[in-house]
Structure 1
């Protein structure tokens, strides 16, 4: 077997295992799930599982890190492009936010499980950290001067973004990634009071 074919097979097997964990987390918490549950759901034997992971915690850690790295790369690519400085973010959402929503859609099974009520809190903390880092990069790129303490501002924005993403997943992702990014742009750019119709422009 060539190296390329082997890599594809490994990726396919790891995706099957991750998807099996995700399906199980619809009805059980992570702590309630065993390796046997995962291998049965993925229709593989335990030796195949242990070729790739030490235990279920290693599976969760690797899966979270893969997702976080991909999301981080998406954000970096966009923020390093200075086109962001010329965007009207109220009517035209930031490209990297659209791309993140698209990535969430492409990885729906895992994202729904990991951000859902049965998911561990570890991923939400990592996700919040990635968003915080990139908000700081964005602030530096546009030389913004916030009128409230930065830590509180970033905590508010990242928490709101993650909650909106969770709601989108729970709603069955009826809106497009572009529509969702635009919703966030309007809420973030003009404030919740304006978005709720309580304040005019």
Structure 2
């Protein structure tokens, strides 16, 4: 029974996400209503609200997959001190969802998406920062370093999307690490 329920929940959520993305591409995010989304997905209003609080919550639901992939990449990276590149998940997610990111560019939906990315990636980074920074006191507080790394990552991601993805996700992740890691190692003496 549990598997059937899980399957129905996954199916409903996927229908709602697909409807949202299709409608964003057709009309833009700002003009959409929950009614538009449920009409397109052919689900009831109570079903929508059983899963999401509003259209912003639905938009951000895709960030959960990104956060899981990012955390998994970070765990494996720090366990092996090498692969995979911990930020590769971010660039791959944007590449796979390129139509959505492009449709949101410069609009209210983009603000919601950026805030969601910042929050989800920041939460993972805050949990994992101890894995790559020493415990001793240094000139910079950890939260400043985390904000620097997060701001640089989001800035590069937005630039990359705005410039029509001139590099592969792997190249972007590699360039980010080549810029960020040496500076952090220098400051922290690692």
TM-score when normalising by structure 1: 0.67
Distance in 2, matches of 1:160 and 1:139, equals 16
Q: CA RMSD in A?
A: 3.4
How far apart, CA to CA, are the structure 1 residues paired with 2:106 and 2:8?
36
CA distance in 1, matches of 2:33, 2:77: 47
Question: What is the match of residue 81 of structure 1?
Answer: 76
1:185 Cα deviation after fit: 0.9
Counterpart for residue 130 of structure 2: 140
Q: Which residue of 1 aligns with 2:175?
A: 183
TM-score, structure 2 normalization: 0.71
The counterpart of 1:63, out of the listed 56, 59, 63, is 59
- Higher relative contact order at CA 8 Å, sep ≥6: structure 1 or structure 2? 1
- Partner residue of 2:88? 98
Q: Partners of 1:186 and 1:102 in 2: how far apart?
A: 18
> What aligned pairs does 1:12-161 form with structure 2 within 5 A after superposition?
13-24=15-26, 26=28, 30=30, 32-35=31-34, 38=36, 44=40, 48=43, 50=45, 52-54=47-49, 58-64=54-60, 66-81=61-76, 83-84=78-79, 86-87=81-82, 94-114=84-104, 116-120=105-109, 121-144=111-134, 146-161=138-153
Paired positions, count: 175
CA deviation digits over 1:15-54, x for unaligned, max 9?
A: 431212431565xx62x43456x45xx9838x54636424
Q: Which runs of 5+ in 2 are unaligned?
A: 184-190
